[in-house]
Structure 1
Amino acid sequence: METQTPVRISANSPPTEGGGQNLSGKTESYPYCTLVAQATLVRLPTRDVQQSFLSSSVPGLVISELRPGPSSRPPMPTTDCVEDTELIDSIIAACHKLSTTKLYHYKRRRFLFYAADKGFDPINPPLTWIFQYLLHLKRSGLTLSSLHVHLSTIVAHQPPMSPASLFFRHPHLKLFLQSL
């Protein structure tokens, strides 16, 4: 015989007419109802997920064949980004549309001409010169999103641990761009 366990329902539910009945069979009026619940465990038939996946897969197909091999990936640039500018440019050119690539090259040349005009090194520029360049672009009428794109082209061609390569995380940059 199965056991029956009393279950209390919250005080928000209305009580039964005669009140609740406790385990001794006495009727008491509680602000909540006491119901009897039957504790029954129901087992549902299931199948093994791995077994069903393997049985429904395409015969002769190996999962590792779906992943691209290391030979299909483009080569990664070395840590010195300045020496491999052509390699980086070729990888970027393969990832973007031709118009986007030309736009990035234009923004890079614009920075190089500005650096040559002002007389500072474009490979490892001081942060103050980059601030002045961004301010020059802002005065030219560029939007804040365009300034971010110009900034990303500057950072992409910097040595890995130069101040300009860490520029996006620099606290002064956030303050500078917020004040524009």
Structure 2
Amino acid sequence: MEFLSPRVSIERSKDRLSVVISARLPKWQETLLVAWFLAWLLSGGYIFYSYLHLPHGGLRQYLLVFLAFWAYFALRIGKAVAWRLKGFESWRLKGGVFTLKNSIFGLGKARDHFVENIQDLGPLGRNERSLKWQINESFWVIGGERLVFTDRGRKFGFGKGLNDKEVGALLPLLEHAMHRERGRAEQPAGQP
């Protein structure tokens, strides 16, 4: 196993390529994210306490709707915190199948893509001045994909949180491995 950076590890063999990208943040960002989540939980707890002690009426209904929105965002923030503390993205290229998986605590759904269906593999086009890009790159969301490919007309982004140097090192490696897998798939059965 080799390490491209403290967050990115690569394992290669003759018939397989595996890349694991950790979602860990610098300590100060982790601390800020956890503090934000705890403040969110405390504020929601206080509002829920207030809700329980109000008489029936319009304000109580308003707080119930407010708490529904609060709960939705509490789940989103909780997932982002779990992703940043214990999450990782893994890629595996083996046997003509490219597998992508986002794992939190080792759990997550793997998505398989046949190498012969993958087209337009490359860096994700970005406009660093756009608000959408800035929000997607922020540390409080699960996002920041830097690579993209097309599989049967549908685009898939991956490579969460990679920097330009890591993209520059991983992309040729992945392209070479996919070219090798396509060559294997085209060989007639029984030939080495």
TM-score higher than 0.5: no
Q: Which has the larger radius of gyration?
A: 1
TM-score normalised to structure 1 length: 0.23
TM-score normalised to structure 2 length: 0.22
